[in-house]
Chains A and B, each alone.
Chain A
Amino acid sequence: MVKNCISCHGVEKQKGGLRLDSGASIIRGGNSGPILIPGKSNESKILHAVRGKDPETRMPPEPKVLISNDQSALIATWVDQGAFIAKQDLVASSVVKKTPSTHWSFQPLVKPIIPSDSSSGWVRTPVDVFIYEQMRKEGLSPAKEADSLTLLRRVYLDLTGIPPSQLEVDAFLNDKLPGAYERAVDRALASPRYGEKWGRFWLDLARYADSDGYEKDTGRPFAWRYRQWVIDALNADMPFDQFTIEQLAGDLLKNSSAEQKAATGFHRNTLTNKEGGADQEQFRVEAVVDRANTTAKVFLGLTLGCAQCHDHKYDPISQREYYQFFAFFNSDTEVNIAAAPLPGEQELFAKKQQEHKSKVDVIKVSLDVRKKELGKDLADWAAKLKPEGVPAKLKPVISVEASKRTDLQKNDLINHRVSLDEKAKGIQKQIADLEKAAPAPTMAQALALGKERKTNIHIRGDFLRKGVEVDPETPGVLPAPITKEKLSRLELAQWITDKENPLTRRVIANWVWHKFFGRGIVTTLEDFGTQGEKPSNPQLLDYLAFTLGDNNWSLKSLHRLIVTSAVYRQSSIVEAANFKKDPYNIFLSRQSRVRLDAEGVRDVFLSVSGLVDQRIGGQSIKPPQPPGISELTYANAVKWNESKGLDRYRRGLYIWFQRTSPYPSLMLFDAPDSNLACVRRERSNTPLQALALMNDVAFYECAKSLGVSLANADLPLEGNIRRAFVTCLSRFPSESEMVQMKNLFDQFRKHYGSNADQAKQVLGNGTDLKGDVVLSAAWVAFARVLLNLDEIIVRD
Chain B
Amino acid sequence: MKDETAMIRSQKLFDEYCLQGRRSFLTNQASGLGLLAAASMLAENKVQASGSDLSPFAIRAPHFAPKAKSAICIYLEGAPSQMDLFDPKPKLKELNGQKLPDSMTKNVRFAFIQKEGARILGSPRKFAKYGECGMELSDFLPHIATCADDIALVRSMHTEAFNHHPGQLMMNTGTPNFGRPSLGSWVNYGLGSPSQNLPGYVVLSAGRGTSGGTSNWSSGFLPTPYTGVLFRNQGEPVLNLNNPSGFDRSIQQASIEGIKNLNALRNEMVGDPEINSRIASYELAFRMQSAAPELIDLKSETKQTLDAYGLDRDEPELKASRGGGKGQFHSFASNCLLARRLVERGVRFVSLFHASWDHHSNLDAELKQNCLMADQPVAALIKDLKQRGLLDSTLVIWLSEFGRTPLGENRGGSANVTGRDHHPFAFSIWMAGGGIKGGQVIGKTDELGWNITEEPIHINDLHATLLHLFGMDHLKLSYKFQGRDFRLTDVAGKVVKKLLA
- Whether chains A and B associate is yes
Which residues of A are interface residues toward B (Cβ below 8 A)? 213-215, 217, 271, 273, 275-279, 303, 306, 314, 524, 526-527, 529, 531-533, 572-576, 579-580, 583-584, 586, 593, 595, 626, 628, 631-637, 659-662, 664, 667-668, 670, 673, 675-676, 682-692, 694-696, 700, 704, 734, 736-737, 740-741, 744, 747-748, 751, 755, 758-764, 777, 781, 784-785, 788-791, 796
Residues of B231-274 at the interface with A, using a CB-CB cut-off of 8 Å, are 232, 236, 238-248, 250-251, 254-255, 258-259, 261-263, 265-266, 269-274
Indicate whether A685 sits within 8 Å of B251 (C-beta atoms), given known contacts A217-B213, A788-B282: no
B281 and A593 within 8 A (CB)? no
CB-defined contacts of A213 to chain B, threshold 8 Å: 178
Indicate whether A796 sits within 8 Å of B270 (C-beta atoms), given known contacts A583-B7, A660-B213: yes
B240 and A751 within 8 A (CB)? no
B11 and A790 within 8 A (CB)? no
Contact segment of B67-75, B96-104, B109-117, B445-453:
B109-117
CB-defined contacts of B282 to chain A, threshold 8 Å: 687, 690, 788
CB-defined contacts of A682 to chain B, threshold 8 Å: 37, 223-224
| CB nearest neighbor in A for B13 | A583
CB-defined contacts of A593 to chain B, threshold 8 Å: 270, 272, 274
Output the least CB separation between A309 and chain B (Å).
9
Residues of B394-428 at the interface with A, using a CB-CB cut-off of 8 Å, are 421-422
Number of A-B contacts (CB under 8 A): 260
Given A628-B232, A685-B32, A691-B285, list of 9 further CB < 8 A pairs?
A275-B164, A277-B110, A583-B36, A635-B356, A661-B213, A694-B243, A758-B248, A762-B246, A790-B266
B281 and A690 within 8 A (CB)? yes
B14 within 8 A of A: yes
CB-defined contacts of B258 to chain A, threshold 8 Å: 740, 744, 747, 785
Q: Once bound together, how far apart are the Cα atoms of A755 and B248, in whole Å? A: 10
CB-defined contacts of B277 to chain A, threshold 8 Å: 685
Partner of A574, one of B242, B250, B272, B484: B272
B211 and A574 within 8 A (CB)? no
| CB nearest neighbor in B for A672 | B179
Q: Among B238, B261, B288, find the residue whose CB has the most chain A CB atoms closer than 10 A.
A: B261
B483 and A576 within 8 A (CB)? no
Partner of B164, one of A215, A303, A531, A632: A215
B278 and A790 within 8 A (CB)? yes
Partner of B224, one of A631, A686, A755, A791: A686
Output the least CB separation between B23 and chain A (Å).
14
B214 and A662 within 8 A (CB)? yes
Residues of B146-182 at the interface with A, using a CB-CB cut-off of 8 Å, are 162-166, 178-179
B440 within 8 A of A: no
B246 and A572 within 8 A (CB)? no
Output the least CB separation between A49 and chain B (Å).
22
Output the least CB separation between B124 and chain A (Å).
25
- By secondary structure, the B interface counts as mixed
B112 and A277 within 8 A (CB)? yes
Q: Once bound together, how far apart are the Cα atoms of A690 and B285, in whole Å? A: 6
Listed by A's residue number, 29 A-B pairs whose Cβ atoms lie within 8 Å are A214-B165, A273-B166, A276-B111, A277-B421, A303-B483, A303-B484, A531-B483, A574-B272, A579-B14, A586-B1, A631-B208, A633-B209, A634-B210, A636-B208, A660-B214, A662-B214, A668-B224, A684-B31, A685-B33, A686-B31, A687-B31, A687-B282, A689-B281, A737-B262, A751-B254, A755-B248, A788-B259, A789-B266, A790-B266
B240 and A696 within 8 A (CB)? yes
B40 within 8 A of A: yes
Interface bin, chain B: 35 or more
Output the least CB separation between A555 and chain B (Å).
24
CB-defined contacts of A700 to chain B, threshold 8 Å: 244
Q: Once bound together, how far apart are the Cα atoms of A664 and B254, in whole Å? A: 27
B225 and A684 within 8 A (CB)? yes
Output the least CB separation between B88 and chain A (Å).
27
Q: Once bound together, how far apart are the Cα atoms of A572 and B275, in whole Å? A: 13
| CB nearest neighbor in A for B245 | A761
Indicate whether A747 sits within 8 Å of B254 (C-beta atoms), given known contacts A688-B229, A694-B285, A758-B246: yes
A279 and B109 within 8 A (CB)? yes
B299 within 8 A of A: no
Q: Once bound together, how far apart are the Cα atoms of A273 and B176, in whole Å? A: 13
| CB nearest neighbor in B for A583 | B10
B254 and A687 within 8 A (CB)? no
Q: Once bound together, how far apart are the Cα atoms of A526 and B482, in whole Å? A: 7
Q: Among A277, A576, A682, A790, find the residue whose CB has the most chain B CB atoms closer than 10 A.
A: A790
A789 and B40 within 8 A (CB)? no
Q: Once bound together, how far apart are the Cα atoms of A688 and B201, in whole Å? A: 13
Indicate whether A634 sits within 8 Å of B209 (C-beta atoms), given known contacts A628-B232, A790-B275: yes
A276 and B241 within 8 A (CB)? no
B214 and A634 within 8 A (CB)? no
Output the least CB separation between B142 and chain A (Å).
29
Q: Once bound together, how far apart are the Cα atoms of A764 and B248, in whole Å? A: 15
A734 and B265 within 8 A (CB)? yes
A688 and B239 within 8 A (CB)? yes
Output the least CB separation between A291 and chain B (Å).
15
B293 within 8 A of A: no
Partner of B262, one of A314, A751, A760, A785: A785
CB-defined contacts of A788 to chain B, threshold 8 Å: 255, 259, 282
Mark contacts of B188-222 with chain A using CB atoms, 8 A cut-off: 1 yes-contact digit, 0 otherwise. Answer: 00000000000100000100111111110010000
B111 and A277 within 8 A (CB)? yes
A215 and B165 within 8 A (CB)? yes
B285 and A685 within 8 A (CB)? no
CB-defined contacts of A526 to chain B, threshold 8 Å: 482-483
